[in-house]
A and B are shown apart, each in its own frame.
Chain A
Amino acid sequence: MNAVAEHADGVGDAPASDGGHAAARLVGLHKVFGEYAAVKRIDLTVAAGSFYGLVGPNGAGKTTVLSMAVGLLRPDEGQSLVFGVDVWKDPLRARQLMGVLPDGLALPERLTGRELLTYLGRLRGLDAGTVTARVDELLAVMELDGDIERTLVVDYSTGMRKKIGLAAALLHGPKLLVLDEPFEAVDPVSAATLKRLLTRFVAAGGSVLLSSHVMALVEQLCDTVAVMARGRVVAEGLLDDVRGSRSLEETFVDLVGVEIGGGEGLSWLVS
């Protein structure tokens, strides 16, 4: 396990950028699909060293925001700055600083976990020795070595895909992790591993921006939260400021202003 500590120390391998900047700052990001405005001019600030949770119901625009923030989806308007570096104007520098785990996207499927990480390490120009050492550690921490060493990524379970994705995001020692639904469909054991890793990453000075619709998890991990609904940010701030004396879930339901369905109709269901 001390491997993790060593790896967490790797935070900051990426070219240092000038201090004082927020880890991520989204300014007026706006995206329209056809006639549907998925994200409406939102602003978010992830302070350096914070563990930031973006919550919202399905279809609130979380994935769209994160995709625009990291450079996978071109915004119609607005800016995304990572440690002061504009993701869309200076992508090369910004990409060094970030580690990203998108939700449900494909990977080079016909490689084993080790081959995938090695491939990414070489693609990023890390030297062979560093790559081998880090890949060994990451596979061990994620429990993707041993028996499943020869399994191709295409045959991985959902939880294993999340873990190899997180390993890929950590490989180059980023300063900011952007994770879209990292705990979706992950079993409790794998989830515990992921949580431990992320907490240690933040403790070692890294910043995390993650999205989730599991309130309990966000309450447990994050120090700052933002609530999204229908393409807008309806609340942002320190966890305790946002939820006050209630649970995050109650606050969330209030903020999102939804009526909880399922109470009426369907009289024929069990009769």
Chain B
Amino acid sequence: MVGVLIRMKLAVLRHSITGMRATWMLTGGLVGFGLAIGTIAVATFDFDQPTALMDLLAVMFAIWMFGWMLGPAFGGEPVLRAEHFALEPIPRGRLALGLLGAAYVGITTAVTFTAFTAMVVFAARLGTVSVIVSIPALLLQVTLVVLLSRLTARLFGALARSRTGGAVTAVITAAMLVLSQSGWIVFIALDAVLTTGFSPGFSMVVRSFPSSWGLLAVEAAARSHWLWTVGPLVALTVLVVALLALWSRLLGPPRLARAVVRGSSRAPARERGATGAVYVKEMRTWLRDPLRVQSLVVAPAFAILSGVLPLLFDSTVFLPFVGALAALMGAVSSANLYGQDGTALWLTLLVPASEEADVRGRQWAWLTLFGPLSLVLTVAGSAMHGSLWPWALAATIAALGAGAGLLPVVATDQLVPGPDPHLNKNSPLDRGDVTGQAFVMMFLVLTLTAPALGTVLAGDRLGEPLLTWAGVAVAVLTGVLSFALLGRTAARRLRMRGPELLYLMRVGKDQDEQVGEGANLLKVMPRARRSLLWTSFVIGCIALFPQALVPIGMKLGGGVAKVWFLALYMPPGLQWPTIAVMILLGLAAFGLAGWIYATEAKRLREKLARQAEERRLRAAEPAAAG
């Protein structure tokens, strides 16, 4: 059973990993292994206080666990699904074991396994018995995260079919996101943590997560405290078995009926003009589609939780930026706007001159939903914090304008095709992997807020309040410009490349274009690949030169001016590591850009050869027919 399913999974992967997906998998895999090695490195840290180091590792493992539970919400459904086997006479228990076995085969599992070997490294520093205990703990822990991931996917899938469920999913997702990416707060205070440990309360919470139980056993084994060695391992085993049993029960047909949303029977509003029509359609879709409700809730939930978390440490410094964060996340979570609508694009293509109206209507609807919300959050947050007004306002306004402008551009340029909405109404999370698109959107929005924030920063440094406030004006200006110009670009793209986008959504992959000899590679490569190439190139430039080489020069030369060099804002102990991370990031981005270029060049060569062959055959065809 397991063997058959693993072969089947590999076959599916072989056929589906092409081009773009391969690029992302490679990047993701590299970044993942980087993080895994980082986790192992933590296990080699200062060892004066084993329990402090254990707690630190426990935090890392908890982040990995939350990452696994979040994965399905962004990465789409797993390759093999229970539904595929619904009609085969296989007992659910066996199917669950088989699917679990197949789930072990994959880059993500390999990465996590590598990360969790940090436990073995930690055990090795404690003694032989601990190492022996760490092996079963490692295996159980990997199984645990795989099962948790599948179960949360199941739960989210069931919830996402109704609007309330969508909102609940959004809040849970946001909470897990905040928890898993706020781990860095711990590292700011790393030195203190390693010597004094976490506060008892925090420690207790972290140790109660199942992802820490293996560590507890390993540490207790070193002290020959057998109850605490065996206890956590037994608990972990019981939990894994229970989760497996629960999962196999859930593998049957879905139990929860879909909540049907009803429209209104009133005469539709008399909206003005074509843009107004699109606007009204979009607003209705935002409020009626569970998936859109989820995008709508996840942004403010993430922003508010991110702002509230530092309150635990009595810091309100994040509160003014909650609004800006909501706008940014709103853009990120809506980035696949066209992909979500699927092939409905055909209507826009067949109604004369409706492309501009389509883009503008969508932009206005997005602004209506996220604009007032972000501004209210900004004002409330700034009022609570009591300062940073120009920073917060400039960031929010610039992010809103950038988001509204970039929304249609990223949605068309980086479109991720998925099943049409009427085909996956019962499994709305069954969709393409939007991770790459989300990162592109985040990076671009942040870039477009730079002029406004730069102005505020300049005013702040020079002690010119007027210049500081001019940053808000710059934000308004860049916002309006991106709304107008980027929107127009998107409309033009829809007009010129509409049929190709429709094809992409229909078939799920880019159309093979006819290209001539001597074609410019950068011009003929698929749009999404080209954008990715440029984005990696720019990230590479920024990370490697201003964020790595310049700070190195400053540190070596002694003349330190922090300006916008991230490393120089870090505590002294973390400056060199930050520079190292920036160098790695820069090299990885350059590597990715080079790799895309090389593979595209190879594809172009193959395509030209194929076309030449085809022409030869076509020339021969009439003779053969005659």
Contact surface of A with B, Cβ cutoff 8 Å: 32-35, 70-74, 76, 91-93, 95-96, 98, 100, 102, 105-112, 114-115, 118-120, 122-125, 128, 132, 149-155, 161, 168
Q: Which residues of B contact A93 (CB under 8 A)?
A: 352
Chain B residues closer than 8 Å to A115, beta-carbon distance = 263-264, 268, 281, 284
Distance of A108 Cα from B276 Cα, bound (Å): 15
The tally of CB-CB contacts under 8 A between chains A and B is: 130
Report 26 cross-chain contacts, Cβ distance below 8 Å, ordered by A residue.
Answer: A32-B614, A33-B512, A71-B499, A74-B499, A92-B352, A96-B352, A102-B346, A105-B506, A106-B341, A106-B343, A108-B281, A109-B421, A109-B422, A114-B265, A118-B268, A118-B277, A119-B280, A119-B281, A122-B271, A122-B273, A123-B354, A124-B274, A124-B352, A150-B263, A154-B421, A154-B425
In the bound complex, how far is the Cα of B264 from the Cα of A190, in angstroms?
Answer: 24
B343 near A95 with CB under 8 A, answer no
Known: A35-B614, A72-B502. Contact between A108 and B274, CB under 8 A? no
Given A108-B281, A152-B261, CB of A123 within 8 Å of CB of B344? no
Q: Does B227 contact A (CB under 8 A)?
A: no
Q: Given known contacts A105-B343, A122-B271, is B261 in contact with A110 (CB within 8 Å)?
A: yes
Contacts of B285 in A (CB 8 A): 108-111
Task: Contact check, B262 vs A150: say whether CB atoms are below 8 A apart.
Answer: yes
Residues of B within 8 A of A34 (CB): 512
Report the Cα distance A241→B14, complex, angstroms: 50
A100, closest chain B residue (CB): B350
Give Cα A149 to B262, complex, Å.
Answer: 9
Q: Give the residues in chain B near A107, CB-CB below 8 Å.
A: 344, 347, 422
Quick check: is B624 within 8 A (CB to CB) of the other chain?
Answer: no
Cβ–Cβ < 8 Å partners of B271 in chain A? 122
Name the CB-closest residue of A to B361.
Answer: A123
Contact status B268-A74, CB under 8 Å: no
Complex Cα spacing A161 to B421, Å = 13
User: B354 — which chain A residues lie within 8 A by C-beta?
Assistant: 123-124
CB–CB A95/B499 < 8 A:
no
- Cβ of A109 to closest chain B Cβ, rounded Å: 5
- Asked whether A71 and B265 contact (CB < 8 A) given A108-B285, A122-B276, A154-B422, the answer is no
Chain B positions near chain A (C-beta within 8 angstroms):
260-265, 267-268, 270-271, 273-274, 276-278, 280-281, 284-285, 288-289, 341-344, 346-347, 349-354, 357, 420-422, 425, 499-500, 502-503, 506, 511-512, 514, 610, 614
CA distance A119 to B285 in the complex (A): 13
Top 5 closest pairs, chain A to chain B, by CB: A112-B263, A122-B277, A105-B343, A106-B344, A106-B420
Besides A105-B343, A112-B263, A123-B347, 12 more A-B contacts (Cβ < 8 Å) are A32-B512, A92-B352, A98-B350, A106-B420, A106-B422, A109-B422, A115-B263, A115-B284, A122-B271, A123-B357, A124-B274, A149-B265
Which one of B278, B288, B342, B514 lies within 8 Å of A152 (CB-CB)?
B288
Query: Do A119 and B265 have beta carbons less than 8 Å apart?
Result: no
Contact of B499 among A73, A96, A119, A125 (CB under 8 A): A73
Q: Are B344 and A110 in contact (CB under 8 A)?
A: no
Residues of A within 8 A of B262 (CB): 150-152
B422 adjacent to A123 (CB under 8 Å): no
B422 and A122 contact, CB distance less than 8 A: no
* Known contacts A115-B284, A150-B264, A151-B263; is-contact A106 B421 (Cβ 8 Å): yes
Residues from chain A with a CB closer than 8 A to the CB of B357 are 123
Alpha-carbon distance between A120 and B514 when the two chains are bound, in angstroms: 34
Report the separation of the CA atoms of residues A41 and B367 in the bound assembly, to the nearest whole angstrom: 47
Q: By the criterion CB–CB under 8 Å, are B347 and A71 in contact? A: no
Alpha-carbon gap, A70 to B262, bound state (A): 33
**In the complex the two chains form, what is the Cα distance from A35 to B617 in whole Å?**
12
Task: Give the distance to chain B from A87, nearest Cβ to Cβ, in Å.
Answer: 10
Q: Which residues of B contact A71 (CB under 8 A)?
A: 349-350, 499
Instruction: Check if A122 sits within 8 Å of B499, measured CB to CB.
Output: no
C-alpha spacing A110/B261, complex, angstroms: 9
Complex CA gap A19/B203 in Å reads: 84
Return chain B residues, CB-CB under 8 Å to A72.
Answer: 346, 349-350, 499, 502
Bound Cα distance A2, B420 (Å): 37
The CA of A108 and the CA of B341, in the complex, are separated in Å by 7
A120–B284 CB distance below 8 A: no
Q: A71 vs B348: C-alpha distance in the bound complex, in angstroms? A: 11
Alpha-carbon separation in the docked complex, A112 to B261 (Å)? 10
From A73, A76, A132, A161, contact of B503 by CB (8 A): A73
Q: Are A123 and B278 in contact (CB under 8 A)?
A: yes
Interface hub of A33, A115, A120 (most chain B Cβ within 10 A) = A115
Closest beta carbon of chain B to A28's beta carbon, Å: 14
How far, in whole Å, are A105 and B348 apart by their CA atoms in the complex?
13
CA of A100 to CA of B261, assembled, Å: 28
* Interchain CB contact under 8 A, B260 and A155: yes
From A35, A92, A98, A132, residue with most partner B Cβ within 10 Å: A35
A114 near B350: Cβ-Cβ < 8 Å: no
Measured between beta carbons, the chain B residues less than 8 angstroms from A76 are 514
Residues of B contacting A132 in the complex (Cβ-Cβ under 8 angstroms):
267
- Complex interface: chain A residues within 8 A of B500 (CB): 74
Chain B residues near A108 (CB-CB < 8 A)? 281, 285, 341, 344, 347
Contacting pair B347 A120 (CB below 8 A): yes
**Cβ–Cβ < 8 Å partners of B284 in chain A:** 110-111, 115
